[in-house]
Structure 1
Amino acid sequence: MTATVAIGEFARLTHLSVKTLRYYHEIELLEPAAVDVGTGYRRYSTDQVERAHLIRRLRDLDMPLPEIRTVLATADPAERDTTLRAHLTRMEAALERTREVVVSLRALLTAPPPPIEIDYRVEPAFTALTVTDQVEHTDIADWCGTAFEQLYLILLESGVNPGGVAGATYSNEFFTDDNGAVTAYVPLPPGVEFTPTRGFAVVDFPARHFAVAVHEGPFEDFDRTYGALGSHVAEHSAALPDEPVRERYLVGPDITDNPADYRTEVCWPITEGEL
């Protein structure tokens, strides 16, 4: 047997405030069972309590309202579970990132920056399979994961082995505007003739002079390596104007699942006379 209750009583049953219930009515997420034409008073059915509890828990998990609407409208349990699992996966990734940021912040506040070893060298010219895009700073991890997966897949399907360490170049706008051109690349073996698929390109990278530092571990502290290397270049060398910073992924996600084992070379372009 079901009954209808006033909005205040429904708020007590569901732990959703009257203000929230009115908002959910406005956006058609949780509509009352009946609305009095004369007074506008809302009444809810006790059959709606479970639905309200589900909405509340999903909001507690920061699920966006459009996704909640999709979950509620889905009759297929498998499809609903897929949506919920995808959101939980995103939540777990966000939680892991929060843990990493907390560790990084504690280190920043309590420990002096670790000494950085800087090497000066000339990177020889090479040819690479590349993909370039305008990338938001906050999207770089996901973009790189997809980009390198595609690059390695193209080489694998073509029977071509990588000719060196993969990397990426980052335009100045990527840092100054939080959005800029990023080129992911995988070197090709010397002398290999290669025709890439659409959206990818074979690019000749010229020889460049760099000041180089190695970043050990995950990327939450990446800014400290950039800060130390860039400061050293500013104090002791001359940066090459408008030349993108280059990263080389000596040990990355394609090799290990443990971010603590990552090793990334940060290559800061400098003028020839600085070697």
Structure 2
Amino acid sequence: MRRGLTIGEFAQLTHLSVRTLRRYHEAGLLEPASVDAATGYRYYATAQIPDAQVIHRLRELDMPLADVKRILATEDPEARAELTAEHLRRLEAQLDRTRAAVASLRQLLRPDVERLAVELRSVPSRTVAAVRGTVAREDVLTWYAEAMSELDAAVAGHECGGPPGGVYDNELFTTGRGTMVIYRPASGFSPGGRVIRHVLPATELAVAVHRGPHDDIDVTYGRLGAWVVEHALAVDGPVHETYVRGPRDDAAPETWRTEIGWPVFRLSPVSGTPQRPGHN
């Protein structure tokens, strides 16, 4: 009577190499149905084929062996699905980081980058509807989305005096944790929950426009910073962003426009008339 599938036959059926099957056996991930005590030959059962195929797919997704083992040891289908979904979320985050890095590199390596248009702008004091908090850098996107949803609800039905924006303390960039203020210029709203009336003080800003999604916004930050060093005196203060057009307005990323405002103290008149943002 045949003892089962040889390791070679099982490798052929599952598209897992013999070397890989031996490694999985040693790791306790996929043990053979039996091992001949005299020869050491491994034999597998046909019932093990689905598990082997699951392992193959999970490893194609770069799931660590320890996590694969946890999934195979979990009998609850919902728990298995959640463990897999958790890994997929990590992959998606990694993919987003990869895309952002690629976009930045493409911008940095372009030999034909146009001259950045910068406007020196005096921004008056304003009272806005805002949500303020101290946030870790890795939580910025989630915190922003939640804060903006609260602001939208608070100002619904009230006249807004411009696009939404954000003010970001330097510590958010230098230490990875800092204060954020997300706001909407609105009057007549009723504060509630985390939404407060907040006074944005008057400030002088060097303003440049970042076009498209934020994957490579660091490039525009760098170019604006270089302009400030050459033409003005940077002062200690938070960076301002104004979301002139974004995913809330248009699903097409190429139409998005974000104004970046760098706090400055003017040293002397800049030669020539500063261009208004968007004219480059």
TM-score calculated relative to the size of structure 1: 0.74
Distance 1:91 1:11 in 2: 27
CA contact (8 A) 2:206 2:262 kept: yes
Q: Deviations over 1:12-49 (max 9, x none)?
A: 54343556445545665434434678998754322212
Q: Structure 1: any 5+ residue segments left out of the alignment?
A: none
Deviation at 1:189, TM superposition (A): 2.4
Deviation at 1:172, TM superposition (A): 2.2
Distance 1:99 1:188 in 2: 32
Moved more, 212-221 or 147-156: 147-156
Partner in structure 2 of residue 256 of structure 1: 250
Distance 1:22 1:274 in 2: 73
Deviation at 1:146, TM superposition (A): 4.0
Secondary structure at 1:213's aligned position in 2? strand
Q: How many residues align?
A: 267
Distance 1:2 1:58 in 2: 31
Partner in structure 2 of residue 173 of structure 1: 171
Correspondence 1:211 to 2:206:
yes
Moved more, 62-71 or 212-221: 62-71
Deviation at 1:265, TM superposition (A): 0.4
Deviation at 1:234, TM superposition (A): 1.1
Runs of 4+ in 1 over 6 A off after TM superposition: 36-41, 78-90, 272-275
Deviation at 1:248, TM superposition (A): 0.9
Partner in structure 1 of residue 62 of structure 2: 62
Moved more, 62-71 or 218-227: 62-71
Partner in structure 2 of residue 30 of structure 1: 30
Partner in structure 1 of residue 259 of structure 2: 265
Deviation at 1:213, TM superposition (A): 0.6
Q: Deviations over 1:66-86 (max 9, x none)?
A: 37844884665x887787688
Secondary structure at 1:189's aligned position in 2? coil
**Equivalent position amino acid for 1:187 in 2:** R
> In the alignment, which of 195, 212, 237 is matched to residue 192 of structure 2?
195
Distance 1:103 1:134, change over 3 A: closer
Correspondence 1:186 to 2:175:
no
Distance 1:193 1:273, change over 3 A: farther
Distance 1:86 1:109, change over 3 A: same
Q: Deviations over 1:237-272 (max 9, x none)?
A: 11112x121111111121111211110000001136
Secondary structure at 1:194's aligned position in 2? coil
> In the alignment, which of 238, 243, 247 is matched to residue 244 of structure 1?
238
Secondary structure at 2:233's aligned position in 1? coil
Partner in structure 2 of residue 121 of structure 1: 121
Distance 2:68 2:158 in 1: 42
CA contact (8 A) 2:212 2:253 kept: yes
TM-score calculated relative to the size of structure 2: 0.73
Distance 2:20 2:166 in 1: 47
Q: Structure 2: any 5+ residue segments left out of the alignment?
A: 270-280
**Kindly, what percent of the aligned residue pairs are identical?**
40
